[in-house]
């Protein structure tokens, strides 16, 4: 922290080696280390400055996924950091407590850079959530769970797509926080898991092996109005969920990813991951557990969500593997121009026969409708990324508060990173 209260972080993109398996050294990339990056943390109202240095031998960027900030600080494909260079974005945190993350965004190279290990969490806090009786001791009863699928090709991390795989690279096992076969000892009755799907292509349906229910307390952009009980939560690449699970003394319970019926047709489920099951993380409870307070009935009195009734503009986005609205990404073309201080309704449609998702930079949106119906509880909170499988049309309400910058665009794209790299991305400016 500097004299004026600015919170300063250093992130160094670097190449290294990681020993995921005993005695096998795998070449990887990381921030300030050989794989993944530190969890950054700041509070609403704080000024933040990050010194991003690139010691790799190729250009990259660092994007603050889920963060509301000026376009030139966003870390998208227009803010490239050359090898040996340093980029120092700064902004004021102006949004509710949430689990955000950061990762590279060089156009055409994002899948490769993320898969090699460049990703980390960026947690935001605020006063109201700080007063809630939620599990909040980081690394004790409030655990980061960064999930990636990997496949080893000898000592290397594989990155090739199988012949039948049209979603991108799919691994044959998962890691949590860069660890294979992970388990975690816990000593509290209630455990909060901050789930991040940091995989490049794989969608998960998380739940526990014994199908016990858990409370969903937060989505991409912050806490839900009230906890929602469920036993599965589906997360496509880039999405986050905060869940709270109750433990019994001495037990072991496995967080698992289950097959997903809504993933697509039989072909998609079989060859593109929808039928797969993974054991993701084992929680091992101590013989004696510290009592945890009950979860509050209300988490936020009025979640900050845009009101679609006030929309001044409607836009349509048709998701196709070849591009959004029939156009492949072009760094030199602005696809949409939105007006600062207005709300819009965006309709996202997938009739492409394969799963996609949809992510918008700078904003947290409200899902108004899924195929004409009220969205389920997991889509009622603040979202910046949504899973849009084949046959689904979603209506989103987005509010663009600025600042205006006609020269620097934000991105919207499919967060299946192979699709993004191949052109499923567009650019909008706020004016
Ligand atoms: Cu997480 Cu445009 O990205
Ligand atoms: Cu983003
Ligand atoms: Cu896609």
Digitized pLDDT (tens) for each residue of the chain, 431 residues in all: 887 889 999 999 999 999 999 999 999 999 999 999 999 999 999 999 999 999 999 999 999 999 999 999 999 999 999 999 999 999 999 999 999 999 999 999 999 999 999 999 999 999 999 999 999 999 999 999 999 999 999 999 999 998 889 999 999 999 999 999 999 999 999 999 999 999 999 999 999 999 999 999 999 999 999 999 999 999 999 999 999 999 999 999 999 999 999 999 999 999 999 999 999 999 999 999 999 999 999 999 988 999 999 999 999 999 999 999 999 999 999 999 999 999 999 999 999 999 999 999 999 999 999 999 999 999 999 999 999 999 999 999 999 998 999 999 999 999 999 999 999 999 999 99
Task: Please state the domain extents for the chain.
Answer: 7-125, 142-290, 308-430
Q: Does this chain's domain 7-125 share its CATH topology with 308-430?
A: yes
Q: For ligand 1, atom 1, name the residue with the nearest CA.
A: 65
Apex 176 CA angle, 268 and 41, nearest 5: 115
Report whether CATH 1.10.10.10 matches the domain 142-290: no
**How many beta carbons lie within 10 A of that of residue 92, not counting itself?**
14
CA of 73 relative to ligand 1 center, distance in Å = 13
3-state SS of 305-353? CCCHHHCCEEEEEEEECCEECCECCCCCCCCEEECCCEEEEEEEEECCC
CA distance 414 to 424: 6
Q: For ligand 1, atom 3, name the residue with the nearest CA.
A: 65
The pair of structure tokens assigned to 270 is 């079989």
Sheet arrangement for strand 278-290: 183-188, 278-290, 252-257, 204-208, 233-235
Pocket lining: 63 vs ligand 1, CB cutoff 6 Å: yes
Pocket lining: 361 vs ligand 1, CB cutoff 6 Å: yes
- In CATH, the number for domain 308-430 is 2.60.40.420
Pocket lining: 256 vs ligand 1, CB cutoff 6 Å: no
Superfamily of the domain at 7-125 = Cupredoxins -  blue copper proteins (2.60.40.420)
The number of the ligand 1 atom at minimal distance from the alpha carbon of 65 is 1
Spatial CB neighbours of 216, under 8 Å, sequence gap ≥ 6: 224, 227, 228, 229, 230, 233, 241, 242, 243, 377, 378
Instruction: For residue 113, give the 3-state DSSP assignment.
Output: helix
Rounded to whole angstroms, what are the CA distances from 304 to 95, 185, 228, 301, 308? 9, 35, 18, 9, 13
Instruction: Quote the ipTM score.
Output: 0.99
**With the CA atoms of 146, 36, 6 and 100 taken in that order, what torsion angle do they form, in degrees rounded to the nearest 10?**
-30
């Amino acid at each position: 922290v500097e004299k004026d209260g600015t919170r300063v972080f250093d992130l160094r993109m670097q190449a290294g080696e990681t020993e995921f398996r005993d005695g096998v050294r795998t070449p990887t990339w990381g921030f300030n280390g050989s794989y993944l990056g530190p969890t950054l943390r700041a509070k609403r109202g704080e000024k933040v400055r990050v010194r991003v240095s690139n010691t790799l031998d190729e250009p990259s960027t660092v994007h603050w996924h889920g963060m509301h900030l000026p376009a030139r600080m966003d870390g998208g494909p227009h803010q490239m950091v050359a090898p040996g260079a340093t980029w120092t974005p700064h902004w004021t945190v102006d949004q509710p407590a949430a689990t955000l993350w950061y990762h590279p965004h060089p156009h055409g190279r994002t899948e490769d850079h993320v898969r090699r290990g460049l990703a980390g969490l960026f947690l935001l806090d605020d006063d109201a959530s700080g007063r809630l009786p939620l599990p909040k001791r980081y690394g004790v009863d409030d655990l980061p769970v960064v999930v990636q699928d990997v496949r080893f090709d000898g000592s290397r991390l594989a990155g090739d797509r199988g012949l039948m795989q049209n979603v991108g690279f799919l691994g044959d096992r998962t890691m949590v926080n860069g660890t294979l076969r992970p388990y975690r000892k816990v000593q509290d009755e209630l455990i909060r898991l901050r789930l991040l799907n940091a995989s490049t292509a794989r969608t998960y349906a998380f739940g526990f092996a014994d199908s016990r229910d858990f409370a969903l307390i937060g989505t991409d952009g912050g806490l839900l109005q009230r906890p929602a009980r469920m036993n599965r939560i589906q997360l496509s690449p880039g999405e986050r969920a905060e869940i709270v699970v109750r433990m019994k003394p001495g037990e072991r319970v496995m967080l698992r990813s289950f097959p997903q019926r809504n993933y697509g047709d039989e072909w998609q489920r079989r060859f593109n991951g929808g039928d797969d099951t993974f054991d993701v993380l084992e929680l091992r409870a101590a013989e004696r557990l510290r009592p945890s307070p009950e979860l509050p009935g209300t988490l936020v009195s009025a979640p900050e969500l845009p009101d679609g009734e006030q929309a001044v503009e409607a836009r349509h986005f048709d998701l196709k593997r070849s591009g959004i609205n029939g156009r492949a990404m072009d760094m030199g073309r602005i696809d949409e121009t939105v007006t600062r201080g207005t709300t819009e309704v965006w309709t996202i449609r997938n009739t492409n026969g394969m799963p996609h998702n949809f992510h918008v930079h700078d904003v947290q949106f409200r899902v108004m409708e899924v195929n004409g119906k009220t969205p389920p509880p997991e889509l009622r909170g603040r979202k910046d990324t949504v899973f849009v499988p084949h046959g689904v049309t979603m209506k989103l309400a987005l509010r663009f508060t600025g600042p205006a910058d006609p020269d620097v665009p934000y991105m919207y794209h499919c967060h299946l990173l192979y699709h993004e790299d191949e052109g499923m991305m567009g650019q909008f400016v706020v004016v």
